[in-house]
């Protein structure tokens, strides 16, 4: 993978381990020669991720809607900063510019980005690996819910492994490199749905 879209929060939580995690992920990806595509912000985990990568000499491509740039939250230190009109265009750019996705801790926006990447993988709009870094146990509940959706029959067997989970970046990258997409919804027959 040459570039990975990294989804994470723009908030700065009181627990400093989240900022440290984002900084370390940015640094580690840069040290591996993997470019980062992210939300283009300078605050919270987003800013820490970008700083970690840039300080290590990495490529950082920010994609930010004009409205957020107008609020002066854009990170102008990015290697490239793409300004788009809508959040949909932002998420499309994440997909177009990257070879995979990693989700760090975040809130509603981060969840929106993660689930769209998963949904698009199910449909066959991309075949890139979708990683979830469950550091500090942050996503334990989400991992359990994802299993519950599959066990209840709302996630097809062919799509159970789209969300790749690990507690460490190194293991997550290894699992993502080994990812093989399953049969997508657009490849299925109507009676198989």
**Whole-number Å distance between alpha carbons of 11 and 107:** 8
* 3: enclosing H helix or E strand: strand 3-7
Please tell me the predicted confidence (pLDDT) of residue 188: 76
- In the block, residue with structure tokens 């992920």: 25
**pLDDT value at residue 193:** 67
What whole-number distance in Å separates Cα of residue 169 and Cα of residue 175? 10
Neighbours of 193 (CB within 10 A): 7
pLDDT in tens, 68-107: 999 989 999 999 999 999 999 999 999 999 999 999 999 9
Half-sphere exposure of 114 (CA within 13 A, CB side): 24
Q: Give me the pLDDT at residue 25, please.
A: 98
Residue 21: both structure tokens together:
């995690």
Q: What distance in Å separates the CA atoms of residue 49 and residue 6, rounded to the nearest whole number? A: 9
Cα–Cα distance, 114 to 130 (Å, whole number): 8
Residues 123-143 have a mean pLDDT of 96
Please name which of 179, 21, 153, 157 lies closest in space to residue 101, comparing C-alpha atoms: 179
What is the distance of C-alpha 1 from the center of its chain?
A: 14
Q: Are strands 60-65 and 80-84 parallel, antiparallel or unpaired?
A: parallel
What is the average per-residue pLDDT within 137-156? 95
- Is the confidence at residue 185, as pLDDT, over 90? no
Residue 156 has pLDDT above 90, yes or no: no
- What is the end-to-end Cα distance of the chain in Å, rounded? 31
8 A C-beta contact, residue 185 and residue 124: yes
Domains contained in the chain, number: 1
The CATH number assigned to the domain holding 175 equals: 3.40.50.450
Model confidence at 149: pLDDT above 70: yes
**pLDDT-based confidence at residue 184 (cuts at 50, 70, 90):** confident
Distances from the Cα of 75 to the Cαs of 10, 28, 46, 49, 65, in angstroms?
12, 20, 9, 11, 12
| pTM of the predicted model as reported, rounded to 2 decimal places | 0.94
Which structural domain, as residue segments, surrounds residue 166?
A: 3-192
pLDDT score for 186: 77
Q: Which run of H or of E encompasses 37?
A: strand 35-38
């Amino acid at each position: 993978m040459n570039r990975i879209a990294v989804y994470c929060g723009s908030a700065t939580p009181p627990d400093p381990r989240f900022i440290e995690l984002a900084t370390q992920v940015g640094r580690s990806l840069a040290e591996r020669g993997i470019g980062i595509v992210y939300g283009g912000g300078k605050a919270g985990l987003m800013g820490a991720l970008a700083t970690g990568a840039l300080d290590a000499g990495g490529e950082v491509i920010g994609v930010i809607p004009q409205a957020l740039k107008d609020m002066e939250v854009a990170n102008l230190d990015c290697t490239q900063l793409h300004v788009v009109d809508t959040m949909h265009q932002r998420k499309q750019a994440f997909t177009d510019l990257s070879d995979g996705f990693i989700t760090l801790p975040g809130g509603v926006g981060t969840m929106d980005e993660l689930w769209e990447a998963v949904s698009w993988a199910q449909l066959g709009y991309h075949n890139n690996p979708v990683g979830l870094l469950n550091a500090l146990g942050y996503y334990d509940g989400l991992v359990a819910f994802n299993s519950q959706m599959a066990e209840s029959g709302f996630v097809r067997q062919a799509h159970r492994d789209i969300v790749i989970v690990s507690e460490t970046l190194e293991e997550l990258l290894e699992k993502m490199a080994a990812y093989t997409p399953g049969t997508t919804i657009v490849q299925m027959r109507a009676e198989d749905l």
